[in-house]
Amino acid sequence: MIPIRYSKRTITDQEQIDQFLQVAKVGHLGLSNEIEPYILPLNFAWWNGCIYFHGADSGRKIEMINGNNRVCFSVCEEYGTIASPVPAHVDTAYMSVFIAGTIERVSEPEEMRDAMQSMIDKYVPGYYSEPLPLQHVIKYRSSMGSTTAIFRITPTALTAKGNPLSEENQFYPGRKVEMDV
């Protein structure tokens, strides 16, 4: 993995990274073939040290995964703009994680169910009073009639970086440079 150039923003605290990945809502899956790259946004779960997501079992994404199982996955959350009297010092508060790894379709029914349960717990916590039944995952069909495929990205490398938000310097509408000098 190529090291982060602006190393002072590197985050190595695994607990902070895990917490971020457990709550961030959208990640971007990067795929490539011999012709072109392809990036798509996804809902996902960070569970057991892997990224899980679900989708249709056919289409461009599946063709590209079948052709090249090396992928990347990026998650970024923006927390606000940091104001400064010096224009070159205006900045963004954020956290991001970049994962390089391999992807495979999950075929073991219990892992499929548990990965889906992890996504349900993340996106609609407390909504269902009962855990996801195994048969639901096995029998589910999309509105287009396809089975649901569940994928696991196993990281071979993971980097994280961030720039925390200082409330004192946070930009807000109406803030003017004259207030900061």
Single pTM value for the model: 0.89
Count of C-beta atoms within a 10 Å radius of residue 150 = 22
Six-digit token pair at 172? Answer: 């807000």
Q: What pLDDT is recorded for position 137?
A: 80
Per-residue pLDDT tens digits for 111-151: 999 999 999 999 999 999 999 888 888 777 666 667 789 99
Does 170 reside within a domain? no
Does 73 reside within a domain? yes
Does 65 reside within a domain? yes
Does 175 reside within a domain? no
Into how many domains does the chain fold? 1
Mean per-residue pLDDT for 29-41?
95
Count of C-beta atoms within a 10 Å radius of residue 102 = 13
Domain with residue 43: its CATH number is: 2.30.110.10
Mean per-residue pLDDT for 95-102?
97
Does 55 reside within a domain? yes
Distance CA 162, CA 94 (A): 5
Q: In what order do the strands lie in the sheet with 45-47?
A: 37-42, 27-32, 70-82, 91-105, 148-163, 50-56, 45-47
Per-residue pLDDT tens digits for 144-170: 667 789 999 999 999 999 999 988 999
Does 167 reside within a domain? no
- Residue 141 lies in domain: 7-162
